[in-house]
Structure 1
């Protein structure tokens, strides 16, 4: 579609299309035409025309109930994003190992601006509930993977986030910039983030950095377990080993220098019943 303005004033056609797509989100997975028009701030006639074009291309799909949903064609295009494509493929064997051992939520995420975007999540039906989804976003400061990504981000990004505002998802979310600065320093020192009750008071997250070919942190992975009865000290070694295995698969020089085939006991509190080889060769 042309980015030229449709009429004498107002957003361009591209802006209107993006407004339509932005109308969809958590809690708004299916929308009527009037709901789309209202959320995008468009006249009903304009929304009807643009939604029809998006549906014809496959970006939107119309259900039997007459409401529209994001189409598979748009998902196919989004799946080609280079930061998630190769990363997910190389990470999956290690994430699956950790998932099978813990029977809990295992997540992989990247940073986009001041937010974390989840590119993969494996969740057991009986695992502690989480509020994340593939493609979902959360503030960097309020999640385990987010704190890892923020701790290893450029100092300018850190200062922007520290300048606030720092929203609270629960009473335990770190919203004081001085406390957050100390937390990030601890994450860099320990190489892991342990976050208890930051997103939900019932869950605890242990996250570690994933490094790429130049040893820069390109992603973060975590396991989320019940806060009650879980000892982070039993979970940290397995999370570190999993992140190191993914890093080695991505070509990280420092990860390749570490010994392979390390057998790491996985946390019994999270449902593991035997040690597993948490690292693989690249």
Structure 2
């Protein structure tokens, strides 16, 4: 929820240190839809305008922010360079990019990779087909774990203790009327995702948008991220989900195998878990 600007008292602000405040300003600065005005960043962070301006001025001096038209700011060249260097040095993204491109070609939908930060999924990479409409999975965008396909996919592969830490009813805010916003409802979705090997976001995050995602694991079986595809509901119906789900699951397992994970053979464990014959 966007916070009201300048409603936080100076005493409340002092609870957080300068580094905490700088990180909040930086996070707001890189959100989609920029460049962002000073007042908008203040609303997002709940910090006062003078505090935000002071941090932006310092970031601009070091190249992490850059003034834009109308008193707004955008990410600076040094920040962009650091981000590019980090992404190019990522083993998982090196493995993921060709897999996403293949998924995009085979499904005709935007394919994307996300990682977890606390109770959010953060979109890191995407491969998008040329079309008249665009999906809201821009790199850097955050979504609650319980309200998106990649988030549910990651939750489905996490240890139970970590899942329960996320399923605090106070944090399960609905994004749409269909969002599973009660712990029991989320557990039901996760149980099905664990059984299938992929999670389905059935208009949980946005109306008329559906996605399918599967977790990516490392050599120790830990959750690294999740791969998914997303489309409008009229192009990704229930039958399409049955086709795309195994494709996304296989893509995630390909990346996981590249990271050293031991993944089950497709069509054997999955069929047995449903009581099907091999």
1:131 and 2:136 are equivalent in the alignment: yes
Q: Is the 8 A contact 1:105 1:128 kept in 2?
A: no
CA distance in 2, matches of 1:167, 1:90: 34
Q: Which residue of 2 aligns with 1:24?
A: 29
Q: Is the 8 A contact 2:219 2:260 kept in 1?
A: yes
Q: Is the 8 A contact 2:153 2:226 kept in 1?
A: yes
1:236 and 2:241 are equivalent in the alignment: no
Q: Is the 8 A contact 1:128 1:202 kept in 2?
A: no
Secondary structure of 2:194's partner? helix
Q: Deviations over 1:253-279 (max 9, x none)?
A: 336x779xxxxxxxxxxxxxxxxxxxx
1:76 and 2:85 are equivalent in the alignment: no
Q: Which residue of 1 aligns with 2:262?
A: 253
More displaced 10-residue stretch of structure 1: 85-94 or 29-38: 29-38
Cα 1:247/1:37, change in 2 over 3 Å: closer
Q: Which residue of 2 aligns with 1:190?
A: 196
- How many matched pairs? 249
TM alignment of 1:194-213, pairs within 5 A: 194-213=200-219
How high is the TM-score relative to the length of structure 1? 0.76
CA distance in 1, matches of 2:132, 2:243: 17
Cα 1:109/1:72, change in 2 over 3 Å: same
Cα 1:106/1:43, change in 2 over 3 Å: closer
Structure with higher helix content:
2
More displaced 10-residue stretch of structure 1: 16-25 or 237-246: 16-25
2:161 corresponds, among 156, 170, 194, to 156
More displaced 10-residue stretch of structure 1: 9-18 or 114-123: 9-18
2:152 corresponds, among 137, 147, 150, to 147
Q: Is the 8 A contact 1:99 1:105 kept in 2?
A: yes
CA distance in 1, matches of 2:28, 2:20: 12
Q: Which residue of 2 aligns with 1:85?
A: 90
Displacement of 1:161: 2.3
Q: Which residue of 1 aligns with 2:182?
A: 176
Displacement of 1:42: 4.3
Q: Is the 8 A contact 2:30 2:75 kept in 1?
A: no
Cα 1:13/1:240, change in 2 over 3 Å: closer
Q: Deviations over 1:53-75 (max 9, x none)?
A: 31121100123544321113223
**RMSD (Å) for aligned C-alpha atoms:** 3.0
Unaligned runs of at least 5 residues, structure 2? 1-12, 268-278
1:224 corresponds, among 226, 230, 241, to 230
CA distance in 1, matches of 2:41, 2:252: 41
Q: Is the 8 A contact 2:158 2:222 kept in 1?
A: no
How high is the TM-score relative to the length of structure 2? 0.77
Q: Is the 8 A contact 1:128 1:226 kept in 2?
A: no
